[in-house]
Amino acid sequence: MTEFDNGLTKAQSERLALLLEEMGEAIQMIGKIQRHGLDSFDPTKLNTPTNRKALSLELGHVLYAILLLSAQRDVFPSEIDKSATAKAKSIRMWLHHQDDAVLERLLQKAITLEGLFLNLTPGGVEMKIC
């Protein structure tokens, strides 16, 4: 039997594991919101955030994981941007309850990952927002 090697470095595997974990936590919060609402919270714990705040925190963690993958060139920011733009165009006919003006502004004014990472260098990342 041949031993399989996925070719990932330990650093790449760690970054993917981080994204996987953070996406799972965001999905879990979405499930709680679907069941209990955005402004609900865990009444059994003191000083617990609302589900809305908890989702915001988890999405921030997902964004960081995506930025880390992009900064390390595990994924291509330009391809993520193209995919997001294509989705923004194709999903509109299937979104029945969204404000068209908001959707149009998002399509026209989106901050892109490629714009965030203008200067990727072998020694690090100089982040700029264009």
Q: At what angle do helices 51-71 and 77-91 cross, to 10 degrees?
A: 140
DSSP-based three-state secondary structure for 52: helix
User: Mean of the pLDDT values across residues 64-75?
Assistant: 93
The model's pTM: 0.83
105: exposed, middle or buried (C-beta count within 10 Å: 0-12, 13-18, 19+)? exposed
Q: What are phi and psi of 81, to 5 degrees?
A: -60, -45
User: What pLDDT, in 10s, does the model give residues 90-129?
Assistant: 999 999 999 998 888 888 866 677 766 545 555 555 555 4
Beta strands in 23-93 (DSSP E): none
Q: Where are the domains of the chain?
A: 10-75, 76-130
User: Mean of the pLDDT values across residues 57-78?
Assistant: 93
DSSP-based three-state secondary structure for 12: helix
Place of tokens 């031993």: 3
